[in-house]
Structure 1
Amino acid sequence: MIDGVRIKKLKKHCDDRGFFAELVRDDEKDILSRFGQASWSMSYPGVIKAFHYHEKQDDLWFFPSGNAQVVLFDLRKDSETHGETDVYYMGEENPIMLLIPKGIAHGYRVLGERPAVIIYFTTQSYNVESPDEKRIEWNDQRIGFDWNTKFR
């Protein structure tokens, strides 16, 4: 696992009405050090949204509906895991929260035949005048990730 990345398994409290689960709490300093903003996005089946990274903020991702293949690549030169790639499968089939520290390139591909919805929290609010968002092409050779499904 890339250094600094954290996973929080969600605990569902189920009864005859449905379920309830906490996503993030203000007393969980190991998962989100500071609240900056909460955002909501939807992507259609097969869409690849990759890659970008931040220099100042951490992201905390959650996919409440649909499923996604999430890819992380450690760009931090001073990290023990510099140059490593991690892959996570998130969404309805695996309801987890994924903390992505600053300096980690990240992106995802929507899996299946339904759109995927992502809700994410950041440690900084988005600044339109000076966005903390650096882009890398989805097929960048430095990362070299193969987005194709492996039929086994």
Structure 2
Amino acid sequence: MQIEGVITKKLTKHCDDRGFFAEVLRDDDKLLTNFGQLSWSTTYPGVIKAFHYHEEQDDIWFFPSGNAQVVLYDLRENSSTKGKTNVFYMGENNPMILLIPKGVAHGYRVIGDQSATIIYCTTKSYNPKKPDEKRIPWNDETIGFNWETQNR
């Protein structure tokens, strides 16, 4: 069961002999109630950046290069999916965007042997005087997520 309020959008690449073009986010997707900030970051192979959540903003994540294991955990008291975990594999091998609602803890691990780049949009700009960013350790026992790759 997907966490309530989480939305994914599969991206379409239009390829030709020059390269490719893809629309990532459009206003008529109606995913963000308003737009606050666009950010860009690169993370090295094997690094885990987790967990944090917001009380006032929604996020949209996109990994245009590299690959990541993205983990969500629903913290919202009034959600039908409270306490549920979702895992998404995102990146150049699976191009998609992911809407993460406020109150859902999120983090990721870079998988593979190359860095991953993330571009993300938020419904509010970052305020350093009053950051809307609450932290939870990557190995939090309540979430209980095993970040190790499972050999099958």
Taking structure 2 as the reference length, the TM-score comes to 0.98
User: What residue number does 2:22 align with?
Assistant: 21
2:12 maps to what in 1?
11
- Cα deviation for residue 16 of structure 1 reads 1.2
| Percent identical | 70
Question: Would you say how many aligned residue pairs link Structure 1 and Structure 2?
Answer: 151
In structure 2, runs of 5+ residues without a counterpart are: none
- Deviating beyond 3 angstroms after TM superposition, the runs of 4 or more aligned structure 1 residues are none
Amino acid at match of 2:130: S
Code of the aligned partner of 2:96? I
Note the C-alpha offset of 1:26.
1.6
For the pair 1:50 / 2:50, whether they are aligned, the reply is yes
CA distance in 2, matches of 1:7, 1:16: 29
Deviations 1:80-131 (A, max 9, x none): 0000000000001100000000000000000011000000000000001000
Question: Which runs of no fewer than 5 residues in structure 1 stay unpaired?
Answer: none
| C-alpha RMSD over aligned residues | 0.6
Pairing 1:148–2:148 present: yes
List aligned pairs for 1:74-89, cutoff 5 A: 74-89=74-89
TM-superposed CA distance for 1:34, in Å, is 1.1
> Following the alignment from structure 1 to structure 2, what is the Cα–Cα distance between the partners of residues 78 and 42?
34
**What SS is found at the alignment partner of 2:28?**
coil
**TM-score computed with the length of structure 1 as normaliser:** 0.98
